[in-house]
Amino acid sequence: MATEKKTIFSPELAARFDKLVTLYPVRRSALVPMLLYAQDEVGYISAAVVAEIAERIGIRENDVHSVLSYYSMLRTKPAGKYNVQVCTNISCMLRDGYGILDHCKKRLAIGHKEVTPDGLFSLEEVECIGACCWAPAMQVNYDFYDELTPEKVDQVLDDYKAGRGKETE
Amino acid sequence: MPRLVSHPDEVKIVSRRFGQGATDIDKYIELDGYKAAQTAIEKGPEWIIQVMKASGLRGRGGAGFPTGLKWSFVPKQSERPKYVLVNGDESEPGTCKDHLIFLYDPHAVIEGAMIAGLAIGSKQGFIYLRGEYRYLLKIMEKAVSDAYAKGFLGKNIFGSGIDFDVVTQTGAGAYEVGEESALMESLEGKRGVPRIKPPFPAVVGLYGGPTVINNAETIASVPHILMMGGEAYAKVGSERNGGTRLFGISGHVEKPGVYELPMGYNLKKAIYEVAGGIRGGKNLKAVVPGGSSTTVLTADEIEVGLDFDQMGKAGTMLGSGGIVVLDETVCMVEFALRTIQFYQHESCGWCIPCREGTDWLKKSIGRLHAGGAVDKDIDNIRYLAENMLGRTFCPLGDAAAMPTIGFVKKFRKEFEDHLNGKGCPYGHAQEREAALV
């Protein structure tokens, strides 16, 4: 629908959204994926993102906000370019997930849900990410890193800093 | 990349294609892929359901409901379209088995969904993955598009005149969405708040249509069952518990990993032989046997078979198959606190006993761990948890209450050791009590 119209998204994402809303019996089913994909591109769910997604689906902005506030991966403030998410749930906790989190805090000099001054990294303590048998584990954006040690964490963070990190998108 | 493990006691059925390049559709076909679907088309819905019933397969998400029976509940005639929904929201702490299925055998999920569709007369399947599993979603998306390219999905599948479409879907971070009705809400673009039951999804589910919703492991097992036969599959497992299961053994073991063991396999053997015993030669203190919501077992209680019925008799649950092993160095109060922190964080807030209950449990156990509790707090924690049981809209309240009751009941001494300002005798850092925001 909105390809000729003004959009805040890249042409690729706009085209993807045009298709996404047609895949389901109701357009609204595309809402959660659209929010996540928009966040991947824009960095967070801004007021403009909410407005455009509401319009594309044909629902009120209020409905978008209500869904947005429910899902823990969706955020309304920018994170770092590389969002470091350390799991401390039971299986990771038993294999020193908290040690990994503390190490990240020291190394990045930021706390939970904070961003480094250069905007490169943010840090989050997260709930189980489904890597229990390879604990302790973390994700940087969508990439998994498992069987972590402080040394391995340093290597991963150094790689991202040098622009050599894995990227799925 | 998750490490694959192996042990001679494993019976590899659902994990048979792991590590064999089966994400490639041609390789999948070479490894007998999509044969079961073609047989299913030939033999028809009644045959499929009869094989599934004979297999004794019970839901691998954790509830253990017989899959064949579930499928048979879907009405044959329906004015609204019927749907197949694959639950890959895997979020129960301790559970990472579906992770491997999506990673190594995505076509088995598609083929299983297709067979479920044939069985109930549905033309549309959805495969829902948790938002964190983006790299796995990409693998699933490629598998779906490869299957379309071969004519295995879409109109007239395998030239049968039958249509079946599959759409993949991502979540965005919510444990609660693993509950079947909450997942349907999420897929309809809403908050993942559970629905009241009845009506059950088999009658009124996704978009109001009759819906079969199954865990990803359940669905991925289906093609194998059709290939080997229901009776043969049943025989691998124990009484009324057909087949095998992916058990994720994590925590303080020498060789953590996901192992496919026959249903009914001895838990002690799984820990000491399959997973190599307790790390560093330490002593075992406790086992959380089926994901964080299941009642803890003490070191003396692990001589038990890993199936739904035997675990039930032992006062706990087989749950999601996530076996979390705790050695003697673990403070059970701290462990109970971390567990309840999770449920408090994930409670959707829709119903009061869960929203308030999980919050007060977190506060009470947190205070106790920090040394600020008095004697009666221990009973209050248990009382509070017992009064949540069965009084919440969906099983999340029970999932929070059950383990808490177990920790207090079975490790009361450790709770008492924290009283009277003593704080954690294990000397664990107190700042960890800082709640997750």
Q: Which of B227, B263, B201 is nearest to B115 (CA)?
A: B227
- Checking if the pLDDT of B431 tops 90, the result is no
Chain B: residue nearest A94 by CA? Answer: B251
Please count the residues of chain A. 169
CA–CA separation, B34 and B28 (whole Å): 8
Please state, in angstroms and rounded to a whole number, the distance separating the CA atoms of residues B275 and B295.
21
pLDDT tens per residue across span A6-42: 899 999 999 999 999 999 999 999 999 999 999 999 9
pLDDT tens digits along A145-168: 999 999 999 999 999 999 888 764
Nearest CA in chain A to B293: A90
pLDDT given for residue A165 in this prediction:
81
The DSSP 8-state label assigned to residue A117 in this structure reads: T
Q: What is the pTM of this model?
A: 0.96
With a cut of 50, say whether residue B286 has pLDDT above it: yes
Counting residues of chain B whose pLDDT is more than 70, the rounded percentage is: 98
Q: A145 vs chain B: nearest CA distance in angstroms?
A: 8
Stretch B327-336: mean pLDDT:
97
pLDDT band of B1, cuts 50, 70, 90: confident
For residue A44, CA distances in Å to A19, B173, B216 come to 22, 15, 30
Residues of B in contact with A23 (CB under 8 A): 167
| pLDDT tens track for A101-125 | 999 999 999 999 999 999 999 999 9
pLDDT mean across residues, chain A:
95
List pLDDT tens digits, range B96-117.
Answer: 999 999 999 999 999 999 999 9
Contact list, A24 vs chain B (CB under 8 Å): 167, 187
Q: Is A106 exposed, middle or buried (0-12, 13-18, 19+ CB in 10 A)?
A: exposed
Which whole number is the average pLDDT over B37-66? 97
Whether the predicted pLDDT of B425 surpasses 70? yes
Per-residue pLDDT tens digits for B210-235: 999 999 999 999 999 999 999 999 99
Average pLDDT score over residue span B372-401: 95
Q: Select the residue from A53, A88, A128 to test the B interface by mutation, using most B Cβ atoms within 10 A.
A: A128
* pLDDT at B430 > cutoff 90: no
d(CA B409, CA A63): 44
Q: With an 8 Å Cβ cutoff, is A89 touching chain B?
A: yes
pLDDT tens digits, one per residue of B11-20: 999 999 999 9
CA distance A20 to chain B (A): 10
Six-digit token string for B177: 């969405």
Reading the block at residue B378, the tokens are 């221990």
Q: What is the largest CA-CA distance in chain B?
A: 74
Q: Distance between CA atoms of A162 and B202, rounded to whole angstroms?
A: 52
A57 → chain B, closest CA residue: B189
Mean predicted confidence (pLDDT) in B250-259: 98
A111 touches chain B (CB under 8 A): no
Average pLDDT across chain B, whole number: 96
3-state helix/strand/coil string of A59-107: CCHHHHHHHHCCCCCCCCCCCCCEEEEEECCHHHHHCCHHHHHHHHHHH
Assess contact for B317 and B345: CB atoms under 8 A: no
Of B268, B261, B217, B223, give the one whose Cα is nearest residue B243. B261
Establish whether the linkage from the previous residue to A78 is cis, with ω within 30° of 0: no
pLDDT at B8 over 60: yes
Extract the tokens encoding B249.
């053994």
Distance from CA of A74 to the nearest CA of B (A): 7
Question: Do residues B48 and B38 lie in contact, with contact meaning Cβ atoms separated by under 8 Å?
Answer: no
